[in-house]
Amino acid sequence: MQLLLICLIAAAYQTSNNMVSPLAPLEAASFHAAPAVVGLVVGAGSFVPLLLAIPAGAFTDRVGAKRLLVPGLFAIVAGTGLAAGVRTLPALTAGMVLLGLGQFGATLGVQALVAHMPGRSRNDTFAIYAVAAAAGGLAGPVLAGTLAARLGIAGALAWAAALAAAAAVVGLLVDARTAPGSGQRVRPRASLEGAARLMRTPAIGTAIGVTAAILFADDLTASFYPVLLADRGVALATIGVLISLRGVASLTVRPTIARLTRRIDRWWLVAIAMALEAIGTVAVPLSPSLAVQVPAALLCGVALGFNQPLSMAIVADHAPAGQRSSALAMRLAGNRVSLVASPLLLGLVVAGFGLPACFAVAAVAPIAGMITVLRFQARGGEAAASSSAAQSAQ
């Protein structure tokens, strides 16, 4: 029952977040912001969570996941409502900061709850959770495009705030005993030392790195992907459908993960995901035709569908029980590095070389991630990582 409740929360707030993602760069562009400024606005929500990741993980390990989940959900409501209600570039930027803080807290809280869920393997529980999150990725952009066409961007953002509010109300019903926390205070220096030990665990460090790599490319959907397609005459509703196709593909493959990992090493699935993301990203600027855009969207969706739940399960499996929230927070911090760096760096590429060039540059990250996974496998992969983790725990 608790897993179902958590999945409902995840689906609702992820729908809200995925409504904001394509609308925010379009709203910033409507204020005649330069490409670099659009990148700054989009990345603003990821900067502060990056700084707070390690203390937030230690806090969650101490006080429990619900104490972070509920405030995070209400922060999403506040940020989205601000962006909808005050239509200026500074207000949009402030709203994105609040939204980013809330999304980080809610996601860490939800993932910590899933990591402590009894009765199933973590491959299974994270796959189930990831299906719910992917449902939000599917519904959000379609709702955003449809509502923006009828009500304008501000109206669509208001609906996103309402969905986040519903998730926050449901969040109050979560049983805090699922991931209650240890109650033990950890000094800041000890938190940093623990984070360093976790990063030195080969499987954890590799999983965090490759997740950041795939998100560097995938974050184009929240920055220059809708801008490029709109510039080439693709309708807003169609852009929303294309982004949602990524969610369809992601949602479709995630229920197969538990079965696939019983037959195929999960690291090989991660490597395949990296290759698919690179191919799909490079294909986007080739043509605005749906004959190109639909397969590209599906490839990127499959890539994210495999990578996200597998990387969460790997991190949770290789972290000590008392540090699972800290390890998951570090994974989210790695994601935030990408979500900050991607729009900022790619904004500079766009300013210097044009919109198509940023897609080629973005594809370099998942290619590097694929190479990293292949090297990890060559060194012994999961078995070597498990041995190393066991030795460091002694």
pLDDT digit string (tens) for 334-345?
888 887 788 888
Residue 285 within a domain: yes
What 8-state DSSP symbol labels residue 219?
G
Report the pLDDT value the prediction gives residue 389, as an integer from 0 to 100: 47
Query: Which tokens go with 309?
Result: 């739940």
What 8-state DSSP symbol labels residue 88?
S
Cα dihedral 204, 123, 104, 211, rounded to 10, equals 50
Residue 190 within a domain: no
Residue 18 within a domain: yes
Residue 394 within a domain: no
Residue 33 within a domain: yes
Report the pLDDT value the prediction gives residue 392, as an integer from 0 to 100: 42
Select the more confidently predicted residue: 305 or 344.
305
Residue 97: strand, helix, or coil: helix
Residue 182 within a domain: no
Among residues of the chain, what percentage have pLDDT more than 70? 92
CA distance 20 to 34: 20
3-state class percentages of the chain: helix first, strand second, coil last, to nearest 5? 90, 0, 10
Alpha helices in the chain (DSSP H): 2-30, 35-63, 66-85, 89-115, 122-171, 188-200, 202-218, 224-231, 236-253, 257-260, 266-283, 290-318, 324-353, 355-378, 381-393
Query: Which residues span the domain enclosing 236?
Result: 2-174+198-381
Counting every residue written for the chain, the total comes to: 394
Residue 213 within a domain: yes
Residue matched to tokens 């790195």:
209
Indicate the number of domains in the chain.
Answer: 1
Each residue's pLDDT tens digit, 202-212? 888 899 999 99
Residue 71 burial by Cβ neighbours in a 10 Å radius (0-12, 13-18, 19+): middle
Each residue's pLDDT tens digit, 77-101? 999 999 888 888 888 888 988 998 8
Residue 192 within a domain: no
Each residue's pLDDT tens digit, 230-285? 888 888 888 888 887 887 888 888 888 888 888 888 899 999 999 999 999 999 99
Query: Which tokens go with 327?
Result: 């390890």
Query: Which tokens go with 193?
Result: 């030392």
Which CATH number is 16's domain given? 1.20.1250.20
Residue 109: strand, helix, or coil: helix
